Amino acid sequence: MDFKLSQEHLMARDLFRSFAENEVKPLAQEVDEEERFPVETVEKMGKLGFMGIPIPKEYGGQGCDYLTYAICVEELAKVCGTTAVILSAHTSLCQMPILHFGTEAQKQKYLVPLAKGETLGAFGLTEPGAGTDASGQHTKAVLDGDEYVLNGSKVFITNGYYADTYVIFAMTNKDLRSKGISAFIVEKGTPGFTFGTKEKKMGIRGSATYELIFTDCRIPKENLLGKEGQGYAIALDTLNGGRVGIAAQALGLAAGALEVSAAYVKTRKQFGKTLDRFQNTQFTLADMATRTEAARLLVYKSAWEHDTDPKNDGTASSMAKLYAAETASYVTNRAVQLHGGYGYIRDYDVERMMRDAKITEIYEGTSEVQRMVIAHNMLK
């Protein structure tokens, strides 16, 4: 057993780290403050191949493994939670289902430009009445000639409005419940596909979170992803991989807050000495560091399992997502505490990191859902 990253992964980490420091960090505060989608960063990441890291080269990707992708998300999240989730949703939630379930024609038409970063992707599963219980879909798709007609709406869609390609779930047979759900590829600009409210969020405020509305939206029959009725299985498979991405985002937020805090306590003086001389500070940092490292091991292991055992039961990614998300919330909370009053001020990165961390316990499966998955797999 070897816990060392390979030379390739180490060099890739250096690349992601230097990109994050030079290109992403300088914008992080502004993007949050102004709730601005960082278009220019997404464009740069596209040109460098970051938008298609685990996609095979024949489909325009970089042909790297899932671990490399997870390390990329981690390094981005260390400085900007927004940028990390844009890349994660694009990669895990839009490209992976097309890669796993798409026809060759769909891959050529949609996956290639997504992987090259020429287009942006999003995923629409959640509805006002179908969050954790995703099987309660109200969006309908009815076959009419050579087209499916979509009606309904999706909420909380990451990369909404800015994305060009959407993987959308809808009921094709209500009687079959979850087995009656199908997945579709929908292009932005299709008549009948519009955007509703842009959500005002607590954290990851630069990422665009929109409502998608489908009103007699006609999409060609060939845009059915997988088979009719296979949608729920596609969603579960996609979310299993997506959890690795969000777990990596959570890990990055924790690691970023830890790094900033460790530097801060060496400079801040109280009672005539720097904060790092106080045992309370040392113990707090030790706990933060230990949990962050434990999260890293779970995240890397789940990424590794994604590469080596694609048919895994999802326990590893659920554990990684559960633990990393709760660690992100814990570590960023402690980071604010170590910063004292300054930590509560928006000029300091840890304030943003704490707000960004909370969502990792909620989206792409709440912590409660992760516990359900882990327990279900244990007890079946």
- The residues annotated as belonging to the active site are 364
3-state class (DSSP) for residue 215: strand
Nearest CB to another protein, comparing residues 57 and 174:
57
Number of residues that bind another protein (CB under 8 A): 18
d(CA 174, CA 189): 27
Question: Is the Cβ of residue 16 or residue 166 nearer to another protein in the bound state?
Answer: 16
Token pair, residue 259, equals 């790094």
Q: Is 7 in the site for another protein (CB under 8 A)?
A: yes
Q: Toward another protein, which CB reaches closer, 49 or 102?
A: 49
Place of tokens 């170590």: 338
- Give the range of 57-65, 73-81, 205-213, 362-370 binding another protein by CB under 8 A: 57-65
Distance in Å, CB of 305 to another protein, minimum: 20
The verdict on 8 binding another protein (CB under 8 A) reads yes
86 is an interface residue for another protein by CB under 8 A: no
Of 6-14, 117-125, 129-137, 198-206: span binding another protein (CB under 8 A): 6-14
The nearer residue to another protein, 117 or 241, going by C-beta atoms, is 117
- H-assigned helices in the chain: 7-19, 25-33, 39-47, 66-79, 81-88, 96-101, 104-106, 112-115, 231-264, 279-308, 315-339, 349-358, 367-379
Rule CB under 8 A: which of 179-238 touch another protein? none
| List 61, 117, 231, 252, residue binding another protein (CB under 8 A) | 61
Q: How far apart are CA 258 and CA 264, in angstroms?
A: 10
Nearer to another protein, 53 or 120 (CB): 53
Residue 150: phi and psi, rounded to 5, are -100, 135
Q: Which of 41, 66, 68, 284 binds another protein (CB under 8 A)?
A: 68
Q: Would you count residue 72 as binding another protein (CB under 8 A)? A: yes
Q: Per the structure block, which two tokens stand in for 24?
A: 């992403």
Question: How far is 305 from 266, CA to CA, in rounded Å?
Answer: 39
User: Is position 40 an interface residue for another protein (rule: CB under 8 A)?
Assistant: no
Minimum Å gap between C-beta 342 and another protein is 26
8 Å CB contact between 209 and 160 = yes
49 binds another protein, rule: CB under 8 A: yes
Task: State the DSSP string of 312-350.
Answer: --SHHHHHHHHHHHHHHHHHHHHHHHHHGGGGGSTTSHH
List contacts with another protein (CB under 8 A).
7-8, 11-12, 15, 18-19, 48-50, 53, 57, 61-64, 68, 72
